[in-house]
């Protein structure tokens, strides 16, 4: 138990965690909630963008009722592009597609 606490403290003091924390704090509440959805997936899982769009609609993070479907999808893509630019997620390109429809999230707590 002490060893886990020591590793946790070590991680919380790392420059990587502090940098992530600063970037996370700058996000608006909707983006924070969208990013937290990635935590339920195992490390390096490839996730389809469409799954996230429908999930976020179901969680009412994207409003399908007051916007047209194209606007909602565009909004989701903007959120995901922001996450890519910040380094939270990585696009996964398929050989047969020029545009990435999948993403990969690497968990932040990989201390050994």
Predicted local distance difference test score (pLDDT) of residue 106: 57
Hey, what domains does the chain have and what are their CATH numbers?
A: 2-105 (1.10.10)
- What's the burial of 27, exposed, middle or buried (CB within 10 Å: 0-12/13-18/19+)? middle
Q: What is the pLDDT of residues 44-95, one digit of tens each?
A: 888 888 889 889 999 999 987 766 778 888 899 999 999 988 888 888 876 6
Predicted local distance difference test score (pLDDT) of residue 32: 95
Q: pTM for the complete prediction?
A: 0.74
How far is CA 43 from each of CA 46, 58, 62, 89, rounded to the nearest angstrom? Answer: 9, 24, 25, 11
């Amino acid at each position: 138990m002490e060893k886990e606490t020591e590793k946790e403290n070590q991680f919380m003091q790392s420059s990587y965690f502090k940098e992530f924390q600063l970037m996370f704090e700058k996000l608006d509440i909707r983006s924070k909630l969208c990013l937290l959805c990635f935590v339920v997936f195992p490390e390096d899982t490839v996730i389809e963008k469409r799954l996230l769009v429908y999930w976020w609609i179901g969680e009412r993070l994207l409003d399908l009722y007051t916007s047209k479907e194209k606007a909602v999808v565009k909004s989701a893509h903007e959120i995901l592009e922001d996450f890519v630019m910040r380094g939270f997620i990585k696009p996964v390109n398929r050989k047969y597609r020029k545009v990435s429809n999948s993403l990969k999230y690497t968990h932040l707590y990989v201390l050994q």
